């Protein structure tokens, strides 16, 4: 498993991936953190290998922070998210969110459960969001509590969730 740290403005991505045959890459996970946080400093101090799609991800993160749609749904053809270890329910929920809730949109946990064909499973959807291994790419920051309240965010806390949603609200302004 290889690791790289990508910092853009206040945000950092700690990327973990594995090269595959035919020049493809499996993205095993992303930690989304504040660039000044201790996790980023610790990760940057370790041996790392440059992520093959580093500049693509940098450009997408920069677009996101400018309030422009980075279109994380269209990853390079030779890059895949490694969902093999996930249970079917988790995979279905994550894929529904990834392809069904666009930039600048939000849903509640209950709405996402219904969209995934699993009504009544809002709490289970919440657990899937809490363990999302690809925050930002699979936009769990767009999932809100039943009242529209910002709830936990594994990718850096509620403050980061708020920042990402504020940036997405800038779209078109």
Q: Which residues are catalytically annotated?
A: 140
d(CA 91, CA 93): 6
Note the Cα 18 to chain centre separation in Å.
18
d(CA 142, CA 168): 10
Note the Cα 108 to chain centre separation in Å.
17
Q: Is 4 helix (H, G, I), strand (E, B) or coil?
A: strand
d(CA 30, CA 139): 12
């Amino acid at each position: 498993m290889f690791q790289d740290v990508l910092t853009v403005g206040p945000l950092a991505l700690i990327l973990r991936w594995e090269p595959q045959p035919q020049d493809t890459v499996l993205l095993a996970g992303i930690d989304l953190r504040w660039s000044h946080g201790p996790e980023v400093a610790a990760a940057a101090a370790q041996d790392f290998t440059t992520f093959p799609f580093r500049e693509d991800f940098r450009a997408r993160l920069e677009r996101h922070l400018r309030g422009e749609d980075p279109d994380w749904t269209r990853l390079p053809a030779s890059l895949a998210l490694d969902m093999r270890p996930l249970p079917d329910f988790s995979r279905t929920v994550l894929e529904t969110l990834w392809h069904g809730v666009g930039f600048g949109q939000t849903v509640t946990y209950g709405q996402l459960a219904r969209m995934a064909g699993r009504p009544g499973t809002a709490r289970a959807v919440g657990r899937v969001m809490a363990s999302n291994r690809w925050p930002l790419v699979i936009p769990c920051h767009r999932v809100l509590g039943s009242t529209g309240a910002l709830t936990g965010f594994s990718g850096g806390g509620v403050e980061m969730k708020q920042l990402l949603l504020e940036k997405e609200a800038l779209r078109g302004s």
